[in-house]
Amino acid sequence: MNEDTTDGQDATRRQYLQYGGALLGGALLAGCVGNAGDGATGDPTDTATGTATETATGTATEEATDTETGDAQDTPYSVAIEPVGEVSFDAVPETWVANNGSWADMGIALGLEPPKGVWLTNRYHTQYYDEIPGLSVDKSDMVSLYQDGVSKELFYELDADVHVMDPNFLLNRFQGWKQGDVEEVTENVGPIFGNCIYAQHYPWHEDYRYYTLYEGFEKLAQVFQRTDRYEAFESLHDEFQANLAPHVPTKAEAPEAAVLWGVGEAPEKFYPYIIGGGTGFKHLRDLNVKDALADSDVKDFHGSRAAIDLETLLEVDPEVLLLRGYEAKSESEFQSTVVASLEDHSTASALTAVQNGDVYRAGGLYQGPITNMVLTERTAGQLYGVEEQLFDRQRVADIVNGEF
């Protein structure tokens, strides 16, 4: 970082947002890198490095929210999250950066302006908001933090009040950042506050706790002093789960599905994902979906970084194929390209899922409170024939607008 860059920044930012926690020190293991799109030709490997793009209680003090009105006061307050520790705020942040669509969606649910940046904008699927009356998110000015690496200067340019991401994600997702860089951004721009919650496979995350979607959501609500909206969404989610329950079979009766990242519009190569913890699999866990790959010889992509071919997939022959990498496509586009190519392929056409018409988009890795309900309901329709709406779209819009 040259001095001209830092001299132009707000040197008093630390008087506005005081960072009070201790970060986990040092880069532990070089993690995976993300720059591929989540579209028809999306590939979860970085073409330059060959590494992967994808993948409780805690303590917090909340001293400044009027829980009746949701209006934030000017009293300093603090919120704690692992691995960051306790972060003190002199005022409610106005601008922010999110690590991914899980946190970004939480912010939208809280009625915030969209984040100024996310790791990859093309993996933040704002089309899910089409389900909600009057709700849309404009990504035209949103910046991808990852651009063949993550520039520290970009954090200065965005000048966000708070960066909602796990600091260890920055240290371990790719080679480039060191502890000193995290501390510099925290000191000169704004605090880093977050936990990697979308998947539970990183070795550097084994020594501190994960947060569920709603645990993370509550933490973010405390940061932005909007716990009333969080509580309204929590109640709505409880109702959604109650509406969903009668449609969900027991684990023994549920279908076995293979979750795969397909490469290209006519995929012959797939990256396997074992259904596990994290927000990225919440919709499948809530639907009791069994993992067809779990007891096979196929290794999870996160551990092996290896793809499988159609012959290997045919040996497993799952009842259902759930394909990632195609969320940018509509259902009709997905059927007319990806599914049609499998039906016309000599090997793929022998798969039980292809023959029975049980090939679906799997849903994105990054799910927040709104997108999770949309994807869970969509998948319930695909797997279990659910035709009714399981959550109130207008109520979602009302909560976002602070009308509840």
Question: Which positions ≥6 away from 142 have C-beta within 8 Å?
Answer: 114, 115, 116, 117, 118, 121, 124
Q: Does domain 3-240 match CATH 3.40.50.1980?
A: yes
CATH of domain 248-398: 3.40.50.1980
Please, how many CA atoms are within 13 Å of residue 310, restricted to the half-sphere of its CB? 17
Peptide bond into 83 cis (omega under 30): yes
pLDDT computed for residue 302 by the predictor = 65
pLDDT of 304: 66
Domain 3-240 shares a fold with domain 248-398: yes
Q: What is the pLDDT of residue 299?
A: 82
pLDDT at 245: 98
Domain boundaries, the chain: 3-240, 248-398
The per-residue pLDDT string of the chain (404 residues; one tens digit each, 9 = 90 and over) reads 333 333 333 433 333 344 333 343 332 222 333 333 444 445 564 332 333 333 333 333 333 344 344 444 578 999 999 999 999 999 999 999 999 999 999 999 999 999 999 999 999 999 999 999 999 999 999 999 999 899 999 999 999 999 999 999 999 987 789 999 999 999 999 999 999 999 888 889 999 999 999 999 999 999 999 999 999 999 999 999 999 999 999 999 999 999 999 999 999 999 999 999 999 999 999 999 999 999 898 887 766 678 999 999 999 999 999 999 999 999 999 999 999 999 999 999 999 999 999 999 999 999 999 999 999 999 999 999 999 999 999 999 999 999 98
> pTM of the predicted model, to two decimals?
0.84
Cβ within 8 Å of residue 132, ≥6 positions away: 370, 393, 396, 397, 400
Q: Can you list the alpha helix ranges (DSSP code H) found in 245-363?
A: 282-286, 301-304, 310-316, 331-334, 340-344, 352-355
Q: What is the 3-state secondary structure (H, E, C) of 114-160?
A: CCCEECCHHHCCHHHHHHCCCCCCCCCCCEECECCCECHHHHHHHCC
Cα within 13 Å of Cα(229), Cβ side? 29
User: What's the burial of 228, exposed, middle or buried (CB within 10 Å: 0-12/13-18/19+)?
Assistant: buried
